[in-house]
Structure 1
Amino acid sequence: MRKFITKLLSLDLIVGSLKLTKEGIKNAHTNERVEVETFAEALSRLGVVGDANIKDFLESKYKSLRKIFYMHVLCLASIILYMCYQNIYQDASVKMMLLYLPMLFIFMVNAITYSFRCYQIRIRKTGAEIGGRLKDFIHLPSEWFPLKIK
Structure 2
Amino acid sequence: MFLRVAFKLNTVVNTHNKDENMVEEIMHLNPCRWKVFQCLLIDGENTGPDALRRAESFVITNAEFDEFLRRHKDVECLVPESNEKMQNSYLILDEYMRFLDCTKGAKEPSRSVLDVGVENGLNFSGFDEKMFFKRGGKYVWSKADMQLDW
TM over 0.5: no
Structure that is richer in strand per residue: 2
Q: Which has the larger radius of gyration?
A: 1
TM-score of the aligned structures, taking structure 1 as reference length: 0.28
TM-score of the aligned structures, taking structure 2 as reference length: 0.28
Structure that is richer in helix per residue: 1
Which structure carries more relative contact order (alpha carbon 8 Å, separation 6+)? 1
